[in-house]
Amino acid sequence: MKFVDTDVLIDFYRKYQPAIDFLDYYYSRNEILAISPITQVELYVGCRNKGELTETVKFLEQYKVVHFSSSISRKTIELIREYNLSHGLLIADAIIAATVLISEGELFSKNANDFMFIEDLSVTKPY
């Protein structure tokens, strides 16, 4: 499963052409892209009014949201214990990484450096 990080979707909203091209490539292939609930919440929090929130909710319907599970929760805790002090891993990034790891997926993130130190996590800069 291919996961899209929040930064890529923000670029898409800002009409940044590389982000548009990247997502269009997967849409044109009818591939299902996934997100963590953290990405969903981060985008909702970034809305400035109800119109933007409504638009964001509709936009995110095309993504598969991989919800928290006990496995994801345990993996998040493990990642925080392992990497918070040594690498500054943040809670949101730990949850996203845990979701991708448990799903045996790949994460597309512009901030790949925020994740590169996590063993067995497949991270790709999309553009």
All domains of the chain, ordered by start, with CATH?
Answer: 2-124 (3.40.50.1010)
The rounded radius of gyration (Å) of the Cα atoms in the chain is 14
Q: Which tokens go with 25?
A: 């490539």
Q: How open is the CA angle 44-47-2, to the nearest 5 degrees? A: 45
Q: pLDDT tens across 67-119, in order?
A: 999 999 999 999 999 999 999 999 999 999 999 999 999 999 999 999 999 99
Name 122's bridge partners.
Answer: 106
Q: What is the pLDDT of the chain when averaged over all its residues? A: 97
Q: What is the pTM of this model?
A: 0.93
